[in-house]
Amino acid sequence: MDADAIVVGSGPNGLVAAVTLARAGRRVLLLEAADGFGGGLRSRELTLPGRVHDVGATVMAMALASPAIRGLELKGVEFVHPPVAAAHPLDDRPAVLVHRDARRTAEGLGRDARAWLATAGAAARAGFPLVELLLKPLGPWEAGLRTFVEGARFGLAAALSATTFARRAFRTVEARALIAGMAAHSVRDLRAPITAGYGLMLASLAHLVGWPLARGGSQMLADALVAELRSLGGEAVTGHRVRHLAELSAPIVVLDVSPRHLLAMADLPAGYRRRLSRFRYGPGVFKMDWALDGPVPWRDPAVAGAGTVHLGGTLEEIALSEAEMAAGRHSPRPYVLAVQPYAADPTRGGHTLWAYCHVPSGSTVDMTDAIETQIERYAPGFRDRVLARHVMFPADLEAANPNLVGGDITGGLMSLVQFLRRPVWSPAPWRTPLPGVFLCSASTPPGPSVHGMGGWQAARLALRTSSLKR
Ligand SMILES: Cc1cc2nc3c(=O)[nH]c(=O)nc-3n(C[C@H](O)[C@H](O)[C@H](O)COP(=O)(O)OP(=O)(O)OC[C@H]3O[C@@H](n4cnc5c(N)ncnc54)[C@H](O)[C@@H]3O)c2cc1C
């Protein structure tokens, strides 16, 4: 194919870039290294035949909130909601439940009900305009003045560390634990700045759009994007790893790759090369999937209805385990992020469980026992339900997707510096110094998650600035 645009990598950002370019009338060729499309959206039979497991992303809150994905109005993708968005079991009291309804959630937080509504609730009430402001940190915004005021209010709390915010805003064990579990999605020491922001953003999304899953597996979203690309005349190829930009000839090249690989695959000017080399990767994850012969036997039956379950106990305990991980150690009681797809989606071939814990980059320590012990702590008898298990060390994750450097699922450390400089400090960080070449991966703003915004921004920039001839 004589392409006007070549997209390298088919993660959500690459796919959204490809579809955006194709919808603008460009002939697009998409090249994917793996044997299937989707990057972090892949689903596979990891345990037993017929059991569908999401290899990477499973919770689609960002996808549902994202202007880039919502705007595409894709056919064949159904987001299904569990009865409860998320649960946070505790040892000595009922689990904390996050409902779609902020008021109902607040009622479960006792003395912190009003504080919850004034923080996570207020961000949710600010609605899609605030999400748009957060997902398009460098514009273009359609936000009005009210949204900027809400954004500033959100920003004051968001800039804090999760530990400081939790202690200032809340008094109860329940609310503090809840925000710690949300903030820990950032894979950071919870004493670090802006970790409160990640927690608040995720909590508010639970109220605004819910924390749904894609019916049939996350792969359905990737497949729908590939189908859309092909319906627009685009071509998509798997099993094609691009090793050097010299292999590609098109006026527009959009790279859904990591900065480390961009450095290896392009002859870049020395200044940009130096700036890109400063980019830092975050810790890794140890991922597990199980085929079960029935639902997880939670001690608190209310947890059964939750799509996502945060395991790790109180704020203090989660903060300690994340601090250990950030310091390069393995917590014996790690924070575990678990998802039970069967709570929302009966089409995954039976009861399955998806979970991971955070580990130092490239760790080779087997966390199976530590993770299962945390699950047993809140669900005695869990191990008796296991028919088969599948584990992925950080190196396995990276072997399946080169963007997961050292098992880093966030595409680069989620620090304050790298919130502002991702991967370089620039008003248009998707642009590279090479004419017509753009970067769109999770290592560009707004960072990780299934929102496709990096791809959308890179494609729009490419359409605005590139001529058709290279
Ligand atoms: C275990 C795990 C759990 C997660 N959970 C969630 C979740 O529940 N919700 C959520 O929103 N997000 C989640 N994420 C994060 C989310 O998956 C990522 O942020 C998102 O997929 C990043 O999208 P991307 O397009 O930047 O790149 P990726 O999805 O990483 O895809 C990059 C693609 O590019 C290909 N590629 C790279 N280099 C080349 C090359 N040189 N040539 C050809 N192809 C190449 C790769 O093979 C890969 O397919 C999770 C991630 C992981 C790994």
pLDDT tens for residues 152-172?
Answer: 888 899 999 999 999 999 999
Across the chain, mean pLDDT equals: 96
**DSSP labels, 259-277:** HHHHHHHS---HHHHHHHH
List the structure tokens of 321. 């385990």
Is residue 76 over pLDDT 90? no
Structural domain range at position 223:
5-45+62-77+214-279+403-465
Q: Which helix (H) or strand (E) holds 359?
A: strand 352-359
Residue 445, preceding bond cis, omega within 30 degrees? no
Is residue 142 over pLDDT 80? no
* % of the chain residues with pLDDT over 90: 91
Between 400 and 71, whose confidence is greater?
400
| 450 within a domain of the structure (yes/no) | yes
Q: Which pLDDT belongs to residue 231?
A: 97
> Can you tell me the mean pLDDT for 99-124?
97
Which of 186, 253, 409, 410 best tests ligand 1's pocket when mutated (most atoms within 8 Å of CB)? 409
Is residue 140 over pLDDT 80? no
Cα of 40 vs centre of ligand 1, distance in Å, is 3
Is residue 1 over pLDDT 80? no
What number does the ligand 1 atom closest to the CA of 31 have?
43
Instruction: Give yes or no for a contact between 220 and 214, defined as CB atoms under 8 angstroms apart.
Output: yes
What number does the ligand 1 atom closest to the CA of 339 have?
8
> Can you tell me the mean pLDDT for 375-390?
98
Cα of 446 vs centre of ligand 1, distance in Å, is 14
CA 157 to chain CA centroid, nearest Å:
21
> Can you tell me the mean pLDDT for 261-267?
97
Is residue 26 over pLDDT 90? yes
Q: Is 82 in the pocket of ligand 1 (CB under 6 A)?
A: no
Q: Which pLDDT belongs to residue 358?
A: 98
Buried b (16+ CB within 10 A) or exposed e, 162-189: bbbbbeebbebbbbbbbbbbbbbbbbbb
Nearest CA to ligand 1 atom 12: 449
Q: Is 119 in the pocket of ligand 1 (CB under 6 A)?
A: no
Is residue 375 over pLDDT 50? yes
Cα of 41 vs centre of ligand 1, distance in Å, is 7
The Cα–Cα gap between 358 and 407 comes to 9
| 349 within a domain of the structure (yes/no) | no
**DSSP labels, 51-117:** --EESS----HHHHH-HHHHTT--TT--EE--SEEEEE--SSSPPEEE-SSHHHHHHTTGGGHHHHH
The Cα–Cα gap between 355 and 5 comes to 37
Q: Is 219 in the pocket of ligand 1 (CB under 6 A)?
A: no
Is residue 86 over pLDDT 80? yes
CATH number of the CATH domain containing 31: 3.50.50.60
| 457 within a domain of the structure (yes/no) | yes
> Can you tell me the mean pLDDT for 108-112?
98
Instruction: Give yes or no for a contact between 174 and 166, defined as CB atoms under 8 angstroms apart.
Output: no
* Cα R_g (the chain), whole angstroms: 21
Is residue 470 over pLDDT 70? no
The Cα–Cα gap between 130 and 148 comes to 8
- Count Cβ atoms below 10 Å from residue 106 Cβ, excluding itself: 21
Q: Is 394 in the pocket of ligand 1 (CB under 6 A)?
A: no
Instruction: Give yes or no for a contact between 377 and 298, defined as CB atoms under 8 angstroms apart.
Output: no
Q: Which pLDDT belongs to residue 137?
A: 75
Helical H runs in 293-430? 315-326, 368-378, 394-400, 416-420
| 361 within a domain of the structure (yes/no) | no
The Cα–Cα gap between 135 and 52 comes to 30
| 436 within a domain of the structure (yes/no) | yes
| 83 within a domain of the structure (yes/no) | no
* Beta-bridge mates of residue 28: 5
Which of 403, 408, 437 best tests ligand 1's pocket when mutated (most atoms within 8 Å of CB)? 403
Q: Which pLDDT belongs to residue 81?
A: 98
Tens-place pLDDT, residues 314-371: 999 999 999 999 999 999 999 999 999 999 999 999 999 999 999 999 999 999 999 9
Q: Which pLDDT belongs to residue 228?
A: 97
Count: domains in the chain: 1
| 252 within a domain of the structure (yes/no) | yes
Is residue 217 over pLDDT 90? yes
Q: Is 135 in the pocket of ligand 1 (CB under 6 A)?
A: no
The Cα–Cα gap between 219 and 53 comes to 10
Question: Is residue 273 exposed (0-12), middle (13-18) or buried (19+ Cβ within 10 Å)?
Answer: middle
Which residues are CB-contacts of 25 (< 8 A; sequence separation ≥ 6)?
none
Nearest CA to ligand 1 atom 16: 449
What number does the ligand 1 atom closest to the CA of 441 have?
26
> Can you tell me the mean pLDDT for 187-201?
97
Q: Which pLDDT belongs to residue 469?
A: 44
| 296 within a domain of the structure (yes/no) | no
What number does the ligand 1 atom closest to the CA of 452 have?
25
Instruction: Give yes or no for a contact between 303 and 378, defined as CB atoms under 8 angstroms apart.
Output: yes
Q: Which pLDDT belongs to residue 447?
A: 97
> Can you tell me the mean pLDDT for 253-262?
98
Instruction: Give yes or no for a contact between 256 and 7, defined as CB atoms under 8 angstroms apart.
Output: yes
